[in-house]
Amino acid sequence: MRVKKLSLVIFLLTIFLVLSLAVQAVDAGLIAHYQFEGDLTDAESNFSDFKVTGDRIFNSGGKINFGQGKNGQAAVFDGSSGLFLAENLIDDYSYSIAFWLRADTINQFTTTFFAGLSDQESGIESWISFVPQGPSGRTMLWSGNNWYDADGNFKIPEDQWVHLAAAVDQGEVHFYINGTEHFRGSDFPDVFSDVEAKFALGVNYWDNPFEGKIDDLRIYDQPLTAEEVEELAAGAEKIEVKAETKVDLDPQSVSVHDPMIIKENGRFYVFGSHLAAAKSEDLIEWKQISGDWDASNPIIPNPEEELQETLAWPEPDAESTWAKSPIKIRAKDTNKYHLYFSSAHWESERSNISLTVSDNIEGPYKFDRILIRKYEEGQYSREAGENFRHQKHPGVIDPHVFYDKNDRLWMLYGSYAGGLHLLELDEETGYPENYNPETGYLEEGSGYGKKLAGGGHSPIEGGYILYNPETDYYYLYMSFGTLAADGGYNIRVARSKNVDGPYLDPQGTDLREYDSGSWADAVNYGAKLIGNFVFEKSELGYLSPGHNSAYYDQSSGKSFVIFHSRYPGQGEYHQVRVHQTIFNQKGWPVITPHAYNGESLSAVSEEKISGSYQFVNHGRNIQNGYKEINYSEEIKLNADGSISGEVRGSWKLIDDYFAEITIEGETYYGAFISQFDRGLAKKVMTFSALSDKGVTVWGSKY
C-alpha cells in the first residue's frame, strides 16, 4: 500500500515538475505581462500601466471596461477607445509578442496591438500592427516600414477567442495564429532599435478603433520557439476556414489589363496596359492582337525606343505603359486614331499622360508628345503653378478621352491622390485646350482641370464617363480599391446631367465629398455595381473586377461594361469580361450577373421567374482581399410573390421585365433577363437590382 502511495506521489511530483519546467520555459525572457484582471498593470512590474485614450493614439477621452476573458478577465474595447503606453516595451531587433483577442466586429486595417511611430515632421513611418483584416483581406502582422506583410492564410472569425503571436529575430519573422505558424520570412524591418516607439492596443494614428476584447498580452525580449507559442495558445478553438473556390478561365476570353473599348469598322477593340490589345466581332469571342512589351509588338513597335521620352519622366524610368484610351478624332482633315496612355513606375511619385497617333486602328502608333505631368511631393508643377501636393493634385494616369453629347472632346483622368479630374481638349490637336505646344506643358498655373470625384488619396481610379441618350445622364464609372487579386477592385457609379458634374450617387451624395483617404469611408459613396462574388452552384465568380470602360449601342439600345477581373483560385491571372448593363426604373445602370452571350431584354412571365436562385448581395464595402467574397445564398422566388430561404422578402414583375425585389424592408430596382450560365451550361433566369442606398443584389436561377 505504501509503495502504491509512494508511486502516486512520485507521479504527481513528476507531473508538477514537468508543468513547472514548461511554465519556466514559456516565461523565459518575459519582460511585460498585462493580464487585465480588472486593471492595466504589468504583472512583471517592469513597465507602467497602460493609459486609456480616445479613438486614436494621443486623443483624449475613452473608456475601458473589463469583462470575461480567455483567462480570467479581459480588457473590453468599445470601438471608440484604446490603450496607450509611451515606454519602450521593445527596443531591439529580437522580441516576441503574444496575446488573445476576441473581435466583436472586424474592419479593414483596424489594429489590435500597435507599436512604432508615425511622425510627419521627421518623416518617420516605422511601425508594426497586428490586424485581423489587413490590406490582403487576411489576418496579418503588418509593418509600415517598407510595407512588410507577414500574411496569415485567412481572416480570423468574429466572436471567437483567437491567439496571435509573432517572434522576430534579427529580421527573421514568424507569425502564428492559434499556435500554428502561418508565415515565415526574412528581412522584417528593424522597427524599434533606433525609434522611441509608442505602444497601443485597439487604436493607431489613422484607422477605426478595435471593438472586442484583448487578454493576456505578453512581451518577450527574445524570440519564442514554435513549441513555446503552441503552449501559450493551448485551449484555442479550431477556426473553420471555408475551402477556396476555383473558377475556370473562360476559353472565349483574352487577357487585356484595364481594357478600354472602341468600335471601328463594325468590330470591337480593347486596348489595355502594357501593350495588350484584342478584338471581337460580337463582344463574346475575343482574339488577342498583342500582349508582350517587346520590339515586335504591332501596336507600338520598338516601344522602348519609340516612347523613350515618356518612359524617362517617372524616375526611375517606366518599364511599360499603363491604361490606354483609344478614340477616332472627328475633326475635319484629321481623321486620326489617337491612343492616350500613361507612363508610371511603382517606385516613382512622377507619372504622365502622353499621346500616340496612327492612321490605322490596329497601329502602328507613333509617339506624339507628353501632355500632362505629375510631380514629386513638393516639386514645382508648371501645370498647377505651385508645388505639387498629392492630397490635392491628381494622379496623372488612367486617361479616358471621349466626346460629350454636344461633340465637345474631354479627358477624364486621375488615380488616388487628388481624385478624378476632367480637362477639355482641342479637337483639332487632341491636346488639352490650355496646352502650349511651344513649351510642351499646360499653360503655367492653368491647373489640372475640374475635380469630379475623390481627393485626399482616396482609393478611386479607372474613371470612365458614358452618356446615355435614353436617360439624358452622364454616368461616371469608377473602380474603388486596388487592382490585384488581393486588392479588392469593385465598380461603382454616379451620374450627372452635365458632363462636368456634379456627379451624385443614388443617395444624392456628391462624389467630391469622398476625400478622407479612408478605405472604410468607401461604403458611403457611389452605387456599388459589382465586387468579389461566387455563385457556388455554378462555380463562377470574380475577384477584383474593375477598371472598366463602357459602350452604348445606338442601334440596339444595349449598354455594356467591359472590365478585367481575376478569378477565385487563379491567382493574378485576369481576363476581359463583358456584361450587359440595364437601366432600371430610376435610370440607374445594373450589371447583369453573367457575361454577355448575345441576350436581349424581352417580356418574361411570372411563371418563368418563379423558382430557386443563387442570391448575391454585393454590399457596399471595398472587399479588400481574396478571402472576402460574397458567396451566394439559396433563395426561392415563390409564385405568390414572396421570397423564402436564406433571405426573406417579396418580388414583383413590373411591366414586361422590370423587377422590384424587397428584402428586409429595402427595395431594389432592376430587371429580369434570361442569360447563359457558363458554369451550369444552360440558360437561366436572372435578376439584377439596385437599392436607393447604392447596394446591388443578383439572382441566378438553378
**Cβ distance 457 to 389 under 8 Å?**
no
Virtual torsion, Cα 547, 552, 557, 558, nearest 10 deg: -30
C-alpha cell at 317: 524610368
For 469, residues 6+ apart whose C-beta sits below 8 A from its C-beta are 405, 552, 554
| Cα-Cα-Cα-Cα dihedral sign, residues 367, 369, 374, 378 | positive
How far apart are alpha carbons 505 and 589 in whole angstroms? 12
C-beta of residue 117 within 8 angstroms of C-beta of residue 103: no
Beta-bridged to residue 125, according to DSSP, are 118
Residue matched to cell numbers 472587399: 623
DSSP state of 16: H
Cα–Cα distance measured from residue 28 to residue 222, given in angstroms and rounded to the nearest whole number: 9
For residue 40, give the C-alpha cell: 492595466
DSSP 286: E
| Count of Cβ atoms closer than 10 Å to residue 78 Cβ | 17
Distance in angstroms (rounded) separating the CA atoms of residues 270 and 361 = 11
- The H or E element spanning position 11 is helix 2-27
- Give the separation between CA 362 and CA 382, rounded to whole angstroms: 34
Cα–Cα nearest to 111, from 95, 99, 93: 99
The verdict on whether 258 is a catalytic residue reads: yes
Catalytic-labelled residue, pool 149, 211, 216, 461: 461
Residues 224 and 173 sit within 8 Å (Cβ to Cβ): no
Task: Tell me how far CA of residue 412 lies from CA of 392, 428, 680, in angstroms.
Answer: 16, 18, 39
375 with 350: CB under 8 angstroms? yes
The active-site residue, picked from 258, 368, 486, 515, is 258
CA–CA distance, 569 with 116 (Å, rounded to integer):
35
Q: Is the peptide bond before 459 cis (omega within 30 degrees of 0)?
A: no
3-class secondary structure, 357: strand
CA 594, 597, 603, 606 dihedral sign is negative
CA dist 151 and 483 (Å) reads: 18
Give the CA distances from residue 365 to residues 326, 331, 337, 345, 550, in Å, rounded to whole numbers and listed in that order: 11, 19, 9, 22, 23
Which three-class secondary structure state does DSSP give residue 241?
Answer: coil
In sequence order, the β-bridge partners of residue 53 are: 82
- Whether omega before 314 lies within 30 degrees of 0, making that bond cis, reads no
Q: How far apart are CA 319 and CA 304, in angstroms?
A: 8
Nearest alpha-carbon partner for 372 in 351, 356, 347, 345: 351
Which residue do the cell numbers 477592385 mark? 489
Of 39, 32, 74, 68, the closest CA to residue 215 belongs to 74
CA distances to 107, 362, 424, 459 from 413, rounded to whole Å, are 30, 23, 11, 14
Integer Cα distance of 105 and 307 in angstroms: 49
- Decide if 150 contacts 165 (C-beta within 8 A): no
Q: Which residues are catalytic?
A: 258, 461
